Amino acid sequence: MDAQDFYEYLLTKGFERRRSQEEFIEIVRELIEEGGVKLVEAPTGTGKTFAYLIPLITSGQRAIISTGTKILQDQLRRDIEFLAGHYRLLTGEEISYAILKGKGNYLCLDRFHKEKLPPEELGDIPELLETEWEGDLTLSSCSPEAIPKLNVDEDYCTFHYRKVCPYRMECYYWEKVKSKERKARILVVNHALLALKEFDDTEDRILVVDEAHELDRYLILASTSALSLYWFRELIGNLEKLLNREIRLSPEDFFRENFEKLFKEESQEISLDSLSSYVPQLRKELADPIRRLVQEFRDRLLSEVEEFLEGRLMISFRLKSFLEGTMLFPPEFLERFKAGYEEPEKEEKRLIEKVKKLDYLDRKVRKLFQFLRLCEEDREDLGYKVSRSWSKRLQTYNYRLEIFPVFPRGIVEPELYRGVLLTSATVDPEDIRFTTGITGDFHRLDHNFDYSKVTFIITNTNPKKEGWEERLKESYEDIRNVYDKVLVLLTNRRHLKLFEGNGEVAKQGEGSLNSLLEKLRKGEIKVLVGLDSLWTGVDVRGEKGILMSKLPFESPEDPVTYHRIRYLRSIGEDPFEYQRRKAFIKFRQGVGRLMRQKTDSGTIVLCDNRIWRYREFIDFLRQLGVNVIYEKNFTARRTWGRPYSRP
């Protein structure tokens, strides 16, 4: 059965034929046959998920599908199960798939048994271990502080240690998850995991990047190097246990002395032009002393290992392989010892555990000095920031220093795959090229909905002028009086305080976004107020109102935006062209929140008359057929039927 036959079958089950969806299916079929890179702008209502899944399923092609969030991964799971079920009924063929998350989301059984964390930190993990749980820590009730102590960590779970790990055959990630990956035809991942390039046989797979307009932000997150107060405190705590004495180092003093004065609010992040000026103090007070302490432990342990080995005629294959892999001992020293049996004995296991701890510390110290070297390079193509958030475990603020690529070009390499598809309702080929370096054939599909049912009101107010906040609140009250479902899309966290409400109003952060959206859909709340996530990732159907506080230009205070502006100026380019393009993408995403199905309708109110300066914004609304009204005095629904008027 080919893609067209399967599509025709689905139409008999009540699905509607969509010309843009059929065009999309044909584009994916061509990609499967010929390879290359294709970018497809598929407006709301195209049915893009089915459009790329149908040809992937019917062709037998192996694929990796990457999307922005774990929530969207779960949505893809439902779509794949639906299509795979119908395909199995028709052909008898099973479609294997796996939903994958990064290794840091999974429980490490070895760390779990060694850490012996208190019950209040473990949550329901002990009970889950007795079930068919897949080891996903995000689906447990363990504390956030416990996750970095229990998860699969690349510095702890090294290639050589996995060979001797007592739980290697039961490992949730390396045995169960990786086994699913090898067997599955379709892998569903998120953009952060895609950046890590941990997949096998990619040259045989088609890569589909869904929600591609957000790809560059997720690639930055996955490529960020960081140090934090918590990181130092945990490392020093490990050294105190191993050396059996108190260590008088105070990372708290370093972070507070340098960064506390930069913050005015409880939790925020701040851009730094550089971190190089902090390196001498960081080296003197923390990095060099920690390296000396690790060396002290190394000297003790190496003497102990040498004494143990000198007293034996033979050791196990696993012990010898592990010691060779750590590269802590000269090859000529280890060659003197013969391996004569497979599994390590009790004393050998104890030795492996000690050497493992040194190897772990060694890797942490290498990362520390790599971070310092990056700081010293002081490159224009890198961004720097400091953030803080309250830590229950530390009982103080956990400060975090980060270095990230300003533009994450070259992280996703199309040549590693059989073919690459990037798609979104607002995919922009120039933005994809500019931010990630990926280029390809661009296809723009037609809109599917009747936007004449949408009224777009532009109020006569400017966010830069006095009285804008009052006008915003007036518009909010008006639209709230008309609609039972209202989304308020903000661009600045400080504006959240303008919408203090009652039980009918919820603000982003007062619960999981999914739970808040469900309350809005069910009518348990009337208004949902939020920032980025509401502009791009929300599906609320039916008649509704949307209030846009202003045009969604990225705040220059945002560290990524700050450093992109700085970098573009340094190479002689106009950063406003980049800002304008990003604002236009986000604006189109915001408009797309209103029409989620054919029967939807409603009103969007924008409290920003600067839109008239940007022709592409108005042209976009005109091309959709939206009824655009310029209101000097917004008086709710009785004025919403007026014809388009220009100021």
Nearest to 351 by CA among 328, 374, 335, 384: 328
User: Which pLDDT does position 632 carry in this prediction?
Assistant: 61
Is 616 in a helix, a strand, or coil? helix
CA atoms of 486 and 491, how far apart (whole Å) = 16
Residue 54: pLDDT band (50, 70, 90) is very high
- Percent of the chain exceeding pLDDT 70 equals 97
Q: What is the dihedral sign for C-alpha 30, 31, 32, 35?
A: positive
Provide the CA 197 distance to its chain's centre, in angstroms. Answer: 15
Q: Which residues contact 363 (CB under 8 A, 6 or more apart)?
A: 155, 158
Query: What's the CATH number for 451-639?
Result: 3.40.50.300
SS3 state of residue 106 = strand
pLDDT tens, residue by residue, 237-259? 999 999 999 999 999 999 999 99
Instruction: Provide long-range contacts, Cβ within 8 A and 24+ apart, for 632-641.
Output: 632/460, 633/460, 634/457, 634/459, 634/474, 634/475, 634/478, 634/605, 635/478, 636/478, 636/479, 636/481, 636/482, 637/482, 637/603, 640/455, 640/457, 640/603, 641/455
For 139-193, the pLDDT digits (tens) are 899 998 899 899 999 899 988 899 889 999 999 999 999 898 889 999 999 898 8
Hey, is 37 helix, strand or coil?
A: strand
What are the C-alpha distances in Å from 188 to residues 99, 209, 412, 427? 5, 10, 16, 20
Check if the beta carbon of residue 103 is closer than 8 Å to that of residue 173: yes
318 CA to centre of own chain? 38
Q: Is the pLDDT of residue 283 over 50?
A: yes
Would you kindly state where each structural domain of the chain is located, as residue ranges? Answer: 3-96+184-222+409-444, 230-405, 451-639
The H or E element that residue 477 is part of is helix 468-482
Tens-digit pLDDT profile for residues 287-327: 999 999 999 999 999 899 888 888 888 899 999 999 988 88
Find the DSSP H helices in 330-421: 331-334, 346-377
Give the closest residue to 159 by CA, choosing from 46, 278, 32, 322: 322
Tell me: the pLDDT tens digits for 107-140?
A: 999 999 998 899 999 999 999 999 999 999 988 9
Residue type, 74: D
| Residue listed under structure tokens 């199309």 | 414
Nearest residue to 405 via CA among 554, 224, 532, 208 = 224
Q: Specify the higher pLDDT residue, 267 or 500.
A: 500
pLDDT tens, residue by residue, 375-427: 999 899 999 999 998 888 788 899 999 999 999 999 999 999 999 999 999 99
Decide if pLDDT at 366 tops 70: yes
- The predicted structure's pLDDT at residue 643: 39
CATH of 3-96+184-222+409-444, one of 3.30.420.40, 3.40.50.300, 1.20.1050.10, 1.10.3720.10: 3.40.50.300
Average pLDDT, the chain: 91
Look at residue 80 and tell me whether its pLDDT is greater than 60. yes
Would you say the CATH fold of 451-639 matches that of 3-96+184-222+409-444?
yes
Strand blocks (E) in 347-494: 382-391, 396-405, 419-424, 441-444, 454-459, 486-489
Order of strands, edge to edge, in the sheet holding 205-209?
Answer: 97-99, 186-190, 62-67, 205-209, 419-424, 36-41, 441-444
Identify the band that residue 537 occupies on the pLDDT scale cut at 50, 70 and 90: confident
Contact call for residues 215 and 209 (beta carbons, < 8 A): yes
